[in-house]
Amino acid sequence: MSYTVLARKYRPQSFDDLVGQEHVARTLANAIGANRVAHAFLFTGVRGVGKTTTARLLAKALNCEKGPTPTPCNECAPCVDITAGVDVDVQEIDGASNNSVEDVRRLQESLPYRPQRDRYKIVIVDEVHMLSAGAFNAFLKTLEEPPDHVKFIFATTESHKVPVTIRSRCQQYDFRLIPHRLIAERVREILSAESLSADDEALSVVAREAAGSMRDALTLLDQLVAISDDRITADTVAASLGIAAREALYDVAGAVLQGDGARVVHAIDALADKSVDMQHFARQLLQLMRDLVVLKLDAGDPADWVPEEREAAEALIEGIDILELQRGFRATSKVMDEMAQSPNPKLMLEMGLVRVATRPPLQSVSELLARLDALQGKPGASGGPTTGSRPRKPNAKPAPRTMPKAESKPEPAPAATLEAAPAPDPPPEPRRRTPSEPIMPATKHAGGFQTSTGEVLTPIRRAALQEWEELVGTLEQQQPALAAVLEHGIPKAVGPDRIVLSFKDGSFYGRQAESPESVAAIAQVAERQLGARPEIQIRFDAQGEAANKTVAAVAAQRKEAEAEAKRKEALNHPRVRDAIDVFPESAGKLKVHIEAD
C-alpha cells in the first residue's frame, strides 16, 4: 500500500480548514454567497501557503451539486473528482511546461464548448509567471471576455513577473506567510490524528524552520516521524535538520552579550563537531538578537516562545542595556555579511563573534562630559582640585598639558616648574593653542570674511547694485520666475530715468529679460519704487563682466559668509575647545556640518 505524505493527506477540504489565510477564505465565501464571483483570479504568495489548495476549493465550491456554495459537500461526484484531481471540467496546467503560444491556443480552442458535467469549466494555471511573453499576449482577449461558463485561476510565487495587462484583468489575492503559532497548532492536530506526540519545543522548532510555509512544516514533520520512535523531541529535530539546539543558541548569545570570548570559541567548536550549518546558525542568532531587543523594549511577544524559552530569554537580557543589545544585533548582522563572502564561514563566524564579545563597553555622553570637567578641574567636578597639578590614577597616562610651549623642545617640563618659572618670550615658531585661544580666529577684511581656503568674500555694496537688489526682491513676490532670471543680470545703471542691465553675449537669461512682458514688469515695479517710470535697456557684452556683480552672486557670497561664521562659532565653542584639550591630536581635523535651513 502506497504512503501518502502528510501535506497531501491533510490538505484542507473547505474554506474553514484553510490556515492563516482567513482574509482570502472570507472574501471568496462572501463572493460565492452573493453570486458575485469574478471570471479570473490571481493568487500570489510564497510556496506552501495554500494557493493551489484554495484554487481547488474554489472549483469545488462553484461546481458542487449543492452549490454554488461556500461549503462544498465533499461527497458529490464533482467534489470527489476535483479532490482527486481527475475532474474532466477542471484543468490544472503547469505553466512551466505549457508556456508557449501553441499551448495557449489549444486551450482556447476548447473553451467555447460547454462543460461535460460540471457547472463551470475551470482552468487552474500554476506558476503562471513561467509563461512566455507571446503566451501572455495570446491570453489577453480570452481573459478579458471569456465565455460565461469559464473561470480562470492563476497561481504564482513571483507576481512581479506577471504582466500588468494580465493582473489588471484578474482579481488578485495575496497569500500571507502563516504565523508560527498557527503552524504549530496545525502540526499538533495532525500528530494527534496520527496518534503521535511531540513536546512543545519540538513543535516550535518545526514551525520556526518552516518560515511561514505549511507545506514545508508538514514535509519536515514527515521526516521527523520517520526517525523518531514514539515521541518527537527538540534534540531529535535539531539532529535531524542539522541545526543548533536552542540551548546552544542561547549559550552563544549569552557569551556574546556578556563579553566571554573564550566561551564563544568553545561553543562554535562544539557546533562544528555536530556538523551544524554555520550560515543557518548565524541566521538563528540574528533572529534571536532581534527578539531580545523587542523583549527588552516590552513591545509585545517578539516570537512564539514556549514558557521555558521566554524565561531563558528574560534571564539572558537581565542587567543588559538596550543599547548593548542593539550593538549585538548590528554586529551579528555584519558578521553574517562577512560569512557570505568567505570560503570558510565557520572561521568568520567564530572570529566575528569573538570581536563582538570583546568590544569595548559603551559610555554615555554624560560620563564623557564629566570626565572632561574633571580633566579641566572645574569646581564641583569629581576630577580633583582646580589649582596645582591634577591627581592621577596609578599607571595612568598623564593628561595633555595646554600651556603654550615651543615645538622645538623635546620633553615637556613638569607643571610645577612651568608655573614657577617666568613666561619666556614667544618664539617665532608656531606654538600650541592655549585653552583661552580660539581654534580659528575670525579674520576680518574690509567688507567681508576670509574662508578656510584663504579666499576673501567681499559682498558688493554699490549704489546701483543695492537699488537693483531691492527691485528684484520686490518683483520676486509678484513674479518669482522673472526675478530668478533678473538675478543673473549686471546692473550698469539703476535710476528713475533709466535702468541698464548687462548680460553675457548669448545668455539665456538675457533673452528672457528682453521680452516685452519682462520689460513691462520691470518698468512697473521700478515706477512704484523709484517714483518714475524709467527706460529699460537690456545689453549683451561679448566679453561679459565679473560674475560677482550680480544679485545671485551677492546672495551666494552672503550665504557662504554666514556659513563660515557659523563654522567658526562652532569651533570656538567652549565645549569643543575643552574636547580638543583632552584629545590634542584632533586639532585641525574637526569637520563642521552646517544643516540647511
Give 331-358 pLDDT, tens digit per residue.
Answer: 888 888 888 888 888 888 889 888 888 8
Ranges 179-193, 287-301, 488-502, 583-597: which has the least confidence: 583-597
Residue of 393, 401, 436, 395 whose CA lies nearest to 417: 401
Secondary structure (DSSP) of 37-71: --SEEEEE-STTSSHHHHHHHHHHHHH-TT-S-SS
* pLDDT over 60 at 439, yes or no: no
CB contact at 8 A, 245 and 341:
no
Q: Beta 171-174 vs 90-94: how paired, if at all?
A: unpaired
Residue 462: per-residue pLDDT:
45
Distant-in-sequence, close-in-space partners of 44: CB < 8 Å, separation ≥ 6:
51, 155, 156, 157, 159, 172, 173, 174, 175
Q: Mean pLDDT throughout 115-124?
A: 90
The pLDDT confidence band at residue 595, using thresholds 50, 70 and 90, is low
Ranges 73-87, 276-290, 404-418: which has the least confidence: 404-418
Q: Which three cell numbers stand for residue 97?
A: 511546461
* pLDDT over 70 at 364, yes or no: no
Residue of 24, 30, 53 whose CA lies nearest to 176: 24
Exposure pattern of 130-152 as b/e (b: 16+ CB <10 Å)? bbeeebbebbeebbeebeebbbb
- The residue behind cell 549704489 is 463
* pLDDT over 60 at 383, yes or no: no
Ranges 375-379, 464-468, 481-485: which has the least confidence: 375-379
Strand partners, 535: 498
How far is the C-alpha of 535 from the C-alpha of 432, rounded, in Å?
61
CATH of region 6-174, choose from 2.102.10.10, 3.10.450.50, 3.40.50.150, 3.40.50.300? 3.40.50.300
Residue 394: per-residue pLDDT:
39
Most confident of the following: 164-178, 222-236, 569-583: 164-178
CB contact at 8 A, 232 and 199:
yes
> Can you list the alpha helix ranges (DSSP code H) found in 228-321?
234-241, 246-258, 261-273, 278-297, 307-317
Please report, as a single letter, which amino acid is at residue 39. H
Distant-in-sequence, close-in-space partners of 169: CB < 8 Å, separation ≥ 6:
40, 140, 143, 144
All structural domains of the chain with their residue ranges: 6-174, 242-371, 465-550
CB contact at 8 A, 591 and 450:
no
How far is the C-alpha of 83 from the C-alpha of 382, rounded, in Å?
80
Ranges 100-109, 285-294, 527-536: which has the least confidence: 527-536
Mean of the per-residue pLDDT values of the chain: 78
Q: Mean pLDDT throughout 515-534?
A: 83
The three-point CA angle 89-93-94 to 5° equals 165
Residue 500: per-residue pLDDT:
86
pLDDT digit string, tens, across residues 385-432: 433 333 333 344 444 443 433 344 444 444 333 333 444 455 444 444
Classify domain 242-371 at the CATH class level.
mainly alpha
CATH of region 465-550, choose from 3.30.300.180, 3.40.50.720, 3.30.43.10, 3.40.630.30? 3.30.300.180
Q: Mean pLDDT throughout 198-227?
A: 84
Alpha carbon distances (Å) from 95 to 92, 102, 103, 109? 9, 13, 10, 18
Please report, as a single letter, which amino acid is at residue 293. V
How far is the C-alpha of 405 from the C-alpha of 172, rounded, in Å?
78
pLDDT digit string, tens, across residues 233-272: 877 777 777 676 777 888 888 888 888 888 889 888 888 8
Ranges 7-16, 194-203, 309-318, 400-409: which has the least confidence: 400-409
* pLDDT over 50 at 493, yes or no: yes
